[in-house]
Structure 1
Amino acid sequence: MVIFLLDCLFVFFDLCMYLIIYRLIFGARYKKNATFSVVVLVGVCIVLKILSVIYAELFNIDSITLCSGLVLPFLFKGKTSKWLGLYFPVFGVPTTIASIINIWIYSFNTISQESIIESYFNRFLGVFVTCGLLYLVFRTRRNSRGIELSAMQIILLNICTVLVGIAIGEKEAVIKQRKLVETEMYVNTVIIMSLIFYILVMYSIYLEKSRMHERFVSECQKNTLNSQKEQIDAILESEKKLRSCRHDFKAHIYALSSLAEAGDTEGLKKYCGGLVEDSEKYSKAIISGNVAVDGILGRCADMCEEKGITFTYQVALLKENKADDYELCIIFSNIMNNAIEACESGDEIRLVCYPYNDVLCILQKNPIHKELKYENGKLVTTKEDKELHGHGLDNVKTVIKKYNGHMEVKVEDGNFVVELIL
């Protein structure tokens, strides 16, 4: 009974590692949830172990683990064929680690060969070593997406897994049977070559995915900037129309006066209605001395009013700004949009911008209601799709660096604070 439970426990631990590898390395997502998947694995382990007791000549502990793991690809979203194609490399990771531990134990002769074959010590040691390695991978890949592999890359991974498995298996056999030194050297050479090939394949996949990721992030930032440029252009056009309307103010007064003197009530109503309709198209003006910045901040003021957020501002710019209007709009648009997204009704956003000698100082504060997340000292977005979001402050930083400025983001007394020197 003890052996039965130990076997079930060992198989279950191995399957959990396969599950983690699928999730962590390859980004697999459950069809249902983690609890359901674990329950399925427990059930499969018990059923196969019972079958192994009945048909002892057909099943051993390794074949039970291998067969049980075939259930995993059906627990994930996406193409089952893809997850099945990755199963053998996934199976090979803990198996290879366990074999290496066996070789190490055999080499030092710490336990007799007979007891090692039946021992559970090296099996569970393999589990803990694999878990430790997976934890290290988790720390470096915590916020990254799973790797998407092509059919050819999956085939190469399977070939590499077979080569490494055969080589390490031969190494175990050489040590157990105490074969000639020449044979052991040959096997060692095969192992080294197989591992180098495996590492090169994985490194090439990593490089390709890194390039794809950088290209994707660059494209997202480009799309974000293009979207902001369209908004800025629309705001500038609106500001031009508003200034044109102000320029025609005297003409409108004369027209209204003429209609009133003529007693044309209907004409007066119609004319006033047209003026009201035109005025509603324009945002509230915030005088900063810059048409583009006024347009951006006016739009932000409207958004704050809609959400019930108090927007307190004091904005003055340099007479000759280092950054052009477009770059200033990138700065104000991103810090204000982030603040508005983070705030709730009743909150207050404070924005202060003032010139000091030949630099522009910008300070923006807003309350925070969520714990901020940092990765390697860098603030990361809390939104679900991290690839598509979180570029706003990066775009601001790009502008600040261009002019050798300074940017600091911090939390102070429950407020998110952005300090910029441009």
Structure 2
Amino acid sequence: MIIFFNIVEYVVTFIETFICYRILNLTFKSRQAKSYQERFILGYTFFISTLIYMNNQIALVSNTLILFVIGILSATAILIFKCTYIQALTEISAFYMVISLWDILWIFLISEISEKADMGSQMTMQLGLERILFIITMKVFLVIFYLILRSSKIQLEKLINPNAKGLIILSAGCYIAICYFQRVSILDFNKKLAENWTYFLFVLFLIILIMSIYKKYIKAIERQNIIEIKNNLTIENLRQLEKEYRKRAYDFHDLSNHIHVIKTYLQNQDIKSAIKYLNELDDSNSGENSSTVTWSGNHIIDSILNCKIAEAVSKGIEVTVQTKVYNNIIEDYDICVILSNLLDNAIESYATDVNSEKNIVVIMKSSNDMFVIVVKNKLSKIPDMKNGKLVSSKAKGSYHGIGLDSVKTAVEKYEGILKLSYENDWFIANVTLFCVN
């Protein structure tokens, strides 16, 4: 029977160590080819599990062993994965903190339910049936936890890296609590102690939950502030565009006068004066870039299109525009936010997708009570979508998807619809707005 118990101890230790490596693999990229990576993981798992098993032959509970395992796992992790020692240490410490607290919680619950004073000692310090059943059950929970974590596609790196210091401090505090639990509580277990520790663990989990919610709240506030700043900048740019557009309109209006003057010089065969006049016109327009004019019947839309088309053309992107705007039911602010951000997203997509044909199509149609904006751009691969949202390809650390959030906010004012899709190598952003009285 003892041999069977030892085999089970070794197997569950192997599973725990292996899952720790697999969770690291969810966070960090491998330094090796996949086949070599699996061999390294299995080899290190076997080595560490053997060391733990040998230690368990002396003492089933060892606080020093926990620190040793965390240290050696972190050292081997940087050989397998593209991470620093601190990054590996943070995640591994958090991993053992979670499973240790989970084990302690169940030890107290089982001890209180069974009303056996020595139940905690039997499950942690004595090699017997109670311990075997307990560790098998806990490892089943651990496997389920890993499978849920893997299927959820949670980006652990973004959760752990910003909170590295806090997690290490929290792990150190939990380590002290675990030491106390192992050396004092189990040896002198009673119902009152179990209740106090259960409350302690509950409050600890509650604090972690509140801190997580608070951080999400702060991040949401920061995101909203950035959206407002971006929208204000967009409006300021719109004013500058409108000013430039009006200047172009005045220049176009004066063009007939300039043509009349030049024609007069030529009719009088005063070539020298005609050339001088043309040079003066050229000097007055020096430093100004002519922009492609798209007549939509709306000067705000024309200003935005002219600006974005000029930017796209400068980056080698072909732009096709189809507009039938008979009645603009949208406020200038909202049309600026929607059209500018959709075009910005289309233009920015080619910064990372260098293999696709650079082509953007803009379609705008309006009726008495509906306004439709469609912006399509060619992509060589299907864009990443998560929960119906586009995952930005911008560098890590930037605020992803703020442009589309601004579009969505503006669309909601008109009880409209924002639909993102990918069809036949085209990424399509379709906005439908309705007249709201």
TM-score (norm 2): 0.72
Give runs of aligned pairs for residues 209-224 of structure 1, distance below 5 A.
Answer: 209-224=215-230
Structure 2 residue aligned with 1:404, among 415, 426, 429? 415
Give runs of aligned pairs for residues 20-419 of structure 1, distance below 5 A.
Answer: 39=40, 42-43=43-44, 46=47, 49=50, 57=58, 64=65, 66-73=67-74, 75=78, 80=86, 89-98=94-103, 114-116=127-129, 119=132, 122-123=134-135, 125-137=137-149, 142-143=154-155, 145-147=158-160, 148-149=162-163, 155=169, 158-160=172-174, 162-163=176-177, 166-167=180-181, 184-257=190-263, 260=266, 261-264=269-272, 267-268=276-277, 270-271=279-280, 273-274=282-283, 277=286, 281-306=289-314, 309-324=317-332, 326-342=333-349, 346=357, 348-385=359-396, 387-419=398-430
Q: Which one is further off, 134-143 or 245-254?
A: 134-143
Structure 1 position 210, deviation (Å)? 0.9
Q: 1:30 to 1:335 in 2, by over 3 A?
A: closer
Structure 1 position 186, deviation (Å)? 1.4
Match of 1:14 in 2: 16
Tell me the distance in 1 between the aligned counterparts of 2:263 and 2:403: 50
The CA deviation string for residues 303-356 of structure 1, in whole angstroms up to 9 with x for no partner, is: 4445555433221335453322x3212211222232334466645433322222
Q: 1:297 to 1:206 in 2, by over 3 A?
A: same
Q: 1:63 to 1:152 in 2, by over 3 A?
A: closer
Q: Which one is further off, 398-407 or 45-54?
A: 45-54
TM-score (norm 1): 0.74
Q: Which amino acid aligns with 1:94?
A: I
Q: Which one is further off, 340-349 or 387-396?
A: 340-349
Structure 1 position 213, deviation (Å)? 1.8
Q: Percent identity?
A: 19
Structure 1 position 393, deviation (Å)? 2.0
Would you say the 8 A contact 2:5–2:127 is kept in 1? no
Q: 1:283 to 1:9 in 2, by over 3 A?
A: farther
Q: Which one is further off, 44-53 or 283-292?
A: 44-53
Q: Which one is further off, 238-247 or 87-96?
A: 87-96
Structure 1 position 70, deviation (Å)? 1.4
Structure 1 position 116, deviation (Å)? 3.4
Tell me the distance in 1 between the aligned counterparts of 2:25 and 2:226: 25
Q: Which one is further off, 280-289 or 49-58?
A: 49-58
Q: Which amino acid aligns with 2:194?
A: N
Structure 1 position 100, deviation (Å)? 5.9
Q: 1:150 to 1:52 in 2, by over 3 A?
A: closer
Gaps of 5+ in 1: 175-182
SS in 2 for 1:350: strand
Q: 1:7 to 1:115 in 2, by over 3 A?
A: closer
Structure 1 position 289, deviation (Å)? 1.8
Tell me the distance in 2 between the aligned counterparts of 1:55 and 1:150: 31
Q: Which amino acid aligns with 1:14?
A: E
Structure 1 position 185, deviation (Å)? 1.8
Q: CA RMSD in A?
A: 4.6
